[in-house]
Amino acid sequence: MDPLKEFIYMPVKLASEWLAGKGLHLQIFGQTSLLSGQNFMQSLRALGCRALYHPFGGDIHLFHPADEKNSQQEKSAQLLALFPGPGVEFDNIMKCVHCGLCLDSCPTYRESGLEQDSPRGRLYLMNAVWRGDMTFTEDNVRYLDRCIDCRACETACPSKVPYGELIEKTRGVLKEQFKRPLVPSALQNFFFRLVLPHTGRLKLFSNLFKIYSYTGLRQLITKTALRRVLPGVMVKGQYMLPVFEGASFKQKYAGTHHPAGKNIGVKTTLFTGCVADVSDHEVHLSTLNLLLRAGCEVEVKPNQSCCCALQVHGGDRETGRTLALKNVEVFSDSKAQKIITNAGGCSAQLKEYHLLFTSAESETQNRVRRLKRRLPIFWSF
């Protein structure tokens, strides 16, 4: 009889004795239809065993507990250096109970229908990396890359698996361990490290896009037969381009702005971001004017930097830490009671700065926590 069937159909008491006699416990890689998922997990819990369903198939593996413990400790020690910050322990991956409630909320799973493109499928990949059981290859990296980090799965998850933090830390390891093609990697590093953190270079690109909008090429691509000839990504990109201003909002409106009345309400400071700082100025200006009309004092810091969301999402955690530290320095000196941002992505990243630093850096952590307490997003403020 197949070993798994022999194990499953044993009475609980006999199965316990069978396992104890072998000095083993069971890990299962690959889905099984022998029992329903609920009954199967209940059977294993009754035996004091641990089950891992791997969505990409595989065999049954029996491990001696002592050997597995020593191996796991060794692998974890090697990987811990790649996961700085107190953040989320990778043991939290095991909170996933395979209920599937995340599937309908995941845009990539709805598009492809592949388990590998689902949150729980990616959690298995992350777990395999954390345990040291898998190395990155083109076949498995593409599923991690396709995640857009929207975190809709976190809202749907009854077990509160911190998926977003886990995928971002895994991408940090991915950047260290997996060699990507030269050109895409160089372009990513160029924009993440040499463009987005620097206001002057952002203004240069903003002016170039502004000139491009004056040439009429945008309308030529979207409103003529060219849209059928050119790549779809290029055509769709024309509709997504913001209105570039060719100037920096934080430099143009630097300083403290006071409301018209004598009574000053909440003292605020406005976070302008990176690309948003050189585009769509009417959004920032409307925010500024609305705060002033509400009686708030508004400070605009000219030396604030990129929030580092794109860098962290892309796995460049080192650049992310550098930018986070700069913003912590800038806003820690502010006397504002609230830090206002009108961009959801920036707000989410600012609130997670603490995940980029180790607990040993206690002073930095304290400053980040104080910053976080002042961070309502604009429409919730």
Share of the chain above pLDDT 70, in %: 72
Radius of gyration of the chain (CA): 26
Evaluate whether 326 touches 367 at the Cβ level (below 8 Å). Answer: no
Q: What is the mean pLDDT of the chain?
A: 78
pLDDT reading at 149 higher than 80: yes
pLDDT in tens, 18-33: 555 655 444 443 333 3
Report the pLDDT averaged over residues 36-64: 43
Q: Dig out the tokens for 212 from the structure.
A: 């491009």
DSSP 352: T
E strands of the chain, at which residues? 25-28, 60-63, 255-257, 267-270, 297-300, 338-340
Please report the pLDDT score of residue 125 as a whole number: 86
Place 14 in a pLDDT band, splitting at 50, 70 and 90. Answer: low
How does strand 297-300 pair with strand 267-270? parallel
pLDDT in tens, 163-175: 998 999 889 888 8
Cβ neighbours, 10 Å, residue 159: 13
DSSP 338: E
Report the pLDDT averaged over residues 174-187: 89
Please report the pLDDT score of residue 63 as a whole number: 39
Describe the chain by its helix, strand, coil percentages, rounded to 5.
55, 5, 35
pLDDT reading at 75 higher than 80: no
Backbone phi, psi, residue 242, to 5°? -75, 175
Cβ neighbours, 10 Å, residue 160: 9
SS3 of 341, please? strand
Evaluate whether 105 touches 153 at the Cβ level (below 8 Å). Answer: yes
Please report the pLDDT score of residue 110 as a whole number: 94
Please report the pLDDT score of residue 7 as a whole number: 47
pLDDT reading at 88 higher than 80: no
Please report the pLDDT score of residue 178 as a whole number: 87
- Residue for token digits 């201003």? 245
pLDDT reading at 92 higher than 60: yes
Place 16 in a pLDDT band, splitting at 50, 70 and 90. Answer: low
Backbone phi, psi, residue 193, to 5°? -105, -30
Judged by average pLDDT, the poorest of 78-82, 258-262, 279-283, 286-290 is: 78-82
Evaluate whether 315 touches 171 at the Cβ level (below 8 Å). Answer: yes
Report the pLDDT averaged over residues 117-126: 90
Domain ranges of the chain: 94-179, 183-240, 249-372
- Residue for token digits 């143009």? 252
Backbone phi, psi, residue 39, to 5°? -65, -35
Please report the pLDDT score of residue 189 as a whole number: 94
What torsion do the CA atoms of 97, 103, 104, 110 make, to the nearest 10 degrees? Answer: 180
pLDDT in tens, 212-248: 989 988 889 988 888 888 888 889 889 888 999 999 9
SS3 of 244, please? strand
Closest CA to 196 of 294, 274, 278: 274
**pLDDT, greater one: 350 or 365:** 350
Report the pLDDT averaged over residues 56-69: 41
